[in-house]
Amino acid sequence: MTVTKRLLLAAFMLPMLFGAYLLLAKEEGARQNPPQRHPPTFFVTSVGVGKGGDLGGLAGADAHCQALAATVGAGNHTWRAYLSTQARGDQPAVNARDRIGQGPWYNSKGVAIAQDLSDLHGDTMEEARLGSNLFKQSALNEKGQVVNGAGDTPNTHDMLTGSQPDGRAYTDSADHTCNNWTSSSSGSAQVGHSDRTGGGNTSWNSSHATRGCSQQDLESTGGAGLFYCFAID
């Protein structure tokens, strides 16, 4: 091979070799600097409090969220239960959506649940059409496990919320919150479906009412006294 041909071949091969070098360098950099995964800021409780709709009020429910988060190393966040309470006497109503910060929220696998309150609740027509990213495979508990849904045994997809679809408290005279989460006997609770299926209403936060507030009542309609927890920071 003549000198001229060798030079031409080298000139042809050089860009290819340089491109291969850049690709290898990029892959090596990706291995050494993997993308940061978002820390969890949302989960479904893996277990309920165990006393039906009596969660010890909002404070007791929040403490349950905080304790479960701490077991998986996420106790550095401030956690709040997604629960509404109704106006009673001189106590004003509390809206679940007002308790959970501003977002964004990610599950225990780093998957985005919603970017903000509007996204979570479908406040605009487009957001309502798309819906939040809360489904069976994304609404995981604090351990990263899928929550049993319709068709599973037992079905535990009923999530206590006491809320209307927009995340706000009910304003009528009926009990939608098991006496503001202090009753395990009288009353009822509004629940959503964590798997977004079953019963003709696929709302994640406002599907139907429970038969009552005892643990047995909650289980009889497809629940276990579970609820959603969100980090506010």
Q: Binning pLDDT at 50, 70 and 90, where does residue 215 land? A: very high
Can you read off the two tokens belonging to residue 43? 């989960």
Q: What one-letter code names the amino acid at 173? A: S
**pLDDT reported for residue 197:** 92
0.85 cut: is pTM over it?
no
Compute the average pLDDT of residues 57-75: 98
Residues in the chain: 233
List 226's β-bridge partners, or say none.
159
**Residue 166 corresponds to which tokens in the numbers above?**
């927009």
What per-residue confidence (pLDDT) applies to 37?
74
Q: Which residue has the higher pLDDT, 25 or 224?
A: 224
Q: What is the largest CA-CA distance in the chain?
A: 99
Determine the Cα–Cα distance for residues 139 and 107; give it in Å rounded to an integer. Answer: 7
Percentage of the chain beyond pLDDT 90 is 76
The mean pLDDT of 83-88, rounded to a whole number, is 97
Per-chain mean pLDDT for the chain? 87
Pairwise CA distance, residues 108 & 125, whole Å: 29
Q: What residues have CB less than 8 Å from 145, skipping those under 6 apart? A: 46
| pLDDT for residue 1 | 55
Q: Going by C-beta distance under 8 Å and a sequence separation of 6 or more, which residues neighbour residue 178? A: 52, 53, 54, 160, 162, 184, 187, 188, 189, 213
Instruction: Check: CB of residue 191 under 8 Å from CB of residue 157.
Output: no
Q: What is the rounded distance in angstroms from the CA atom of residue 225 to the CA atom of residue 199? A: 18
**Superfamily of domain covering 42-231:** Mannose-Binding Protein A, subunit A (3.10.100.10)
Q: Where are the domains of the chain?
A: 1-35, 42-231
Residue 226 dihedral angles phi and psi, to the nearest 5°: -85, 160
For residue 8, is pLDDT > 50?
Answer: no
- How much is the pLDDT for 17? 47
Whole-number pLDDT of residue 32: 55
pLDDT surpassing 90 at residue 187: yes
Mean pLDDT within 94-110: 97
Q: Are strands 158-160 and 223-231 parallel, antiparallel or unpaired?
A: parallel
DSSP-assigned letter for residue 55: -
Beta-bridge partners for 231: 79
Of 125 and 183, the one with more pLDDT? 183
Lowest mean pLDDT among 54-63, 141-150, 167-176, 196-205: 196-205
pLDDT for residue 125 is more than 50:
no
